[in-house]
Structure 1
């Protein structure tokens, strides 16, 4: 097992002792701009964690096959205190040779067991750890904790929803074979496909205004690769209600239009040559970016990257999706400027995925350096809503 080395300051970080790392949560209007926890010790730890995550990449890629073939469900928050031997991914036990040598299991094990305390005392420090990538062994627990989701709280309602019929059942069933068709876990007759149907159907009964949107199946599927269906339902409800996803999926799709407008304006300002090229080719922002927002990149990037993006999304919300989108465009700009409409469509459909298949960290390194101005994003929102209102009024006059 690979070990990380930490200073006494960082060891106390997860023991409940006070350190200089204490910060206050950012305000609701704040957009993540790469803030980090001050101490040098933590910076060193973050770098070491990043190195360890890279070394465990092959192990992380096996999560799909393990989940698909296992008869036992993934762990829920209630299992946070379980030992290594009781987890879904076992490692041989090793003695810690030095008091300052703490392995990844110990760090995250201590964190999830004292989650509420650490999030209250040092929220930005915990979030910075999450931004560097949650070890895949802990995503089952960490995603539920970050979302504030509880399977216990939704157990009765979830069971009741499954008893009801949904007007979307036929459509949901039709889309099952289109969701992660390359994964055995979601093939016809497999447990994953039934769980996927159950969660999506339950949500369509839970939220009759939104009902069902095809893109949501990929997000639910991503959750099911990490946790049982009740836990996945609990997290999905939180994502919909507290992370703007519900607004994206509403029939009018005003929120999706807003995101496309904001992204287009950012491209116009930061990459004017690419913006001009898109316009000359009649290549609308929604043609390449709508699926990024509706599925949180699950249909556009390798599964390991989609997991990392979900880590970021649970910490930073929709701003994380904007930063990843801008990072992709920045890194693809030279290639895109050489392509026509058909070439760009193929590029976004295939080459983006292949580009990051073996180089995950480059994307996140670039995305972490991107700054979004909260005031400017709010201004763009007002502009878009005013424009949309005017268009609706003009449409009414023409009737």
Structure 2
């Protein structure tokens, strides 16, 4: 995952622009365009500076204990939260801080909860299998380097606690990327745990269940929105029998982690923790608009699928501030009430389809 925030010596300096590792620990590839990056960061630094000054004032230099989720906070979050304030703001606007305070000691208790059951052993095994597959290009998640600040053990503990707390989910692929990126931003495992649990409970219901009903529902919702806003793109997918579950499910499962540049993902999360899952749809629609011409020119299924690959290397995706501005430039704003209504309709259809599929399987077994 490439960075778009600033060089390895910090987001407000440019003297480290030739480092092969960015400030989040991600290695820059051989094809990294330093010249374009320098042009971008030279402008973005002024944005970061202005935002930091306004957030410092708003949060009283970190001394503000309560953050009311109002129009001002939403506006501030859309324009970006400085790195040093993200933990405080994300925890409070999402509701995770309240959960942490209401359940003191739960995180540590979950880490010592090993009951020796086969289910728990399977959970541990599944997590260990994915650990070193998590951001292999990030120095903080490479066990072979044996850094004192290696975060693999923290990642394992957070995922284990989540799996035991949400036993109906356990562990699913994709969860590792969210937890790992949270660990790069938040300096406290317990905070990462509660922020992730808040996402599972309130923002992405049934995403990681055995049926992935929540994810499938949202892919159908996305399909409806694309038909409304980009009918030519929808027609191309229908012509090749390609659905959004195939093209964009990872976008939503990972909340764009491992898809878009790091700082762009963090800017998305600034809004996601404040405004909820509608942000994922706004971002998806922006990415689809970005690729619309390429999709329309695709002559077959492989070309259509290929048009969405390497989407994180697009100039607009890298220029995180401009990208977020474009996400909110809409003649008809996408509201959460609209998402809820579409979710209800699409979920009902999916449940009907699942029932019919079960009935067909039952009939075949009886024959």
Number of aligned residue pairs: give it.
309
Please report how far the alpha carbon of residue 185 of structure 1 lies from its aligned counterpart in structure 2 after TM superposition: 0.5
- 1:235 pairs with one of 189, 192, 195: 195
Cα distance in 2 for residues equivalent to 1:104 and 1:148:
23
Where do residues 88-103 of structure 1 align in structure 2 (5 Å cutoff)? 103=53
Cα distance in 1 for residues equivalent to 2:178 and 2:273:
13
- 2:78 pairs with one of 127, 131, 142: 131
SS at structure 2 position matched to 1:225: helix
Deviates more, 1:280-289 or 1:321-330: 280-289
Unaligned regions of 5+ residues in structure 2, if any?
27-51, 115-119, 363-367
Please report how far the alpha carbon of residue 289 of structure 1 lies from its aligned counterpart in structure 2 after TM superposition: 1.3
Residue 367 in 1 paired to residue 317 in 2? no
Please report how far the alpha carbon of residue 108 of structure 1 lies from its aligned counterpart in structure 2 after TM superposition: 4.6
Residues 307-335 of structure 1 show CA distances to partners (whole Å, capped at 9, x for unaligned) of: 11110101110000000100111121012
Cα distance in 2 for residues equivalent to 1:61 and 1:178:
31
Where do residues 210-225 of structure 1 align in structure 2 (5 Å cutoff)? 210-225=169-184
Q: TM-score, normalised by structure 1?
A: 0.70
SS at structure 2 position matched to 1:178: coil
Question: Partner residue of 1:6?
Answer: none
- 2:229 pairs with one of 244, 258, 270: 270
Cα distance in 2 for residues equivalent to 1:308 and 1:192:
22
Please report how far the alpha carbon of residue 65 of structure 1 lies from its aligned counterpart in structure 2 after TM superposition: 5.5
Question: Partner residue of 1:255?
Answer: 214
Q: 1:109 to 1:375 in 2, by over 3 A?
A: closer
Answer yes or no: is the 8 Å Cα contact 2:295–2:304 preserved in 1: yes
- 2:344 pairs with one of 372, 382, 388: 382
Cα distance in 2 for residues equivalent to 1:113 and 1:345:
49
Answer yes or no: is the 8 Å Cα contact 1:154–1:234 preserved in 2: no
- 1:279 pairs with one of 229, 238, 253: 238
Where do residues 11-160 of structure 1 align in structure 2 (5 Å cutoff)? 57-58=6-7, 59-60=10-11, 103-104=53-54, 106-110=56-60, 112-116=62-66, 118-119=67-68, 123-150=70-97, 154=103, 156-160=105-109
Q: 1:148 to 1:194 in 2, by over 3 A?
A: same
Answer yes or no: is the 8 Å Cα contact 1:278–1:284 preserved in 2: yes
Q: TM-score, normalised by structure 2?
A: 0.76
